[in-house]
Structure 1
Amino acid sequence: MSLKEEFATRNFSIYGQWLGILSMILCFALGIGNIFTFRLLIIIFSAICLASSFVILFVEVPLLLRICPTSSGFDAFIRRIATNYMRAAAYLIMALVQWLSLLGGASSLIVAAIFLTATAICYSLAGLKGQAFVGSKTLGGAGIAQMVV
Structure 2
Amino acid sequence: MPSMQGIKEEFATRNFSIYAQWLGILSMILCFALGISNIVTSLLDPFNLILAIFSLCFSFVILFIEVPFLLRICPTSTSFDNFIRKITTNFMRAASYIIMAVVLWLAIITKSGLIAAAVFLTFTALCYLIAALKGQSFVGSKTLGGQGVAQMIV
Structure-2-length-normalised TM-score = 0.91
CA 72–147 in structure 1, closer or farther in 2 if over 3 Å, else same: closer
How many residues are treated as equivalent by the alignment?
Answer: 147
The residue identity in structure 1 corresponding to 2:86 is R
Using the alignment, how far apart are the partners of 1:147 and 1:31 within structure 2? 32
- 3-state DSSP of counterpart to 2:143: helix
Which amino acid letter does the alignment assign opposite residue 96 of structure 1? V
Equivalent runs, 1:87-102 vs 2, <5 Å: 87-102=93-108
Q: Which residue of 1 aligns with 2:83?
A: 77
User: Aligned with 1:2: secondary structure?
Assistant: helix
- TM-score when scaled to structure 1? 0.94
Please say if residues 140 and 150 of structure 2, whose CA atoms lie closer than 8 Å, have aligned partners that are also in contact. no
In the alignment, structure 1 segments of 5+ residues that lack a partner are none
Match of 1:106 in 2: 111
Match of 1:17 in 2: 21
Match of 1:129 in 2: 134
Distance verdict in 2 for CA 1:130–1:117, change over 3 Å: same
Helix, strand or coil: the match of 1:35?
A: helix
The answer to whether the Cα contact below 8 Å between 2:131 and 2:137 also exists between their aligned partners in 1 is yes
CA 1:147/1:122 → structure 2, altered by over 3 Å: closer, same or farther?
closer
Distance 1:93 1:145 in 2: 24
Query: Per-residue deviation at 1:143?
Result: 3.1
| Distance apart, 1:44 and its partner CA | 0.5
Residue 119 of structure 1 aligns to a residue in which SS? helix
- Asked if residue 26 in structure 1 is aligned to residue 57 in structure 2, the reply is no
Q: C-alpha separation between the residues in 1 aligned to 2:61 and 2:135?
A: 25
Greater Cα shift, 35-44 or 18-27? 35-44
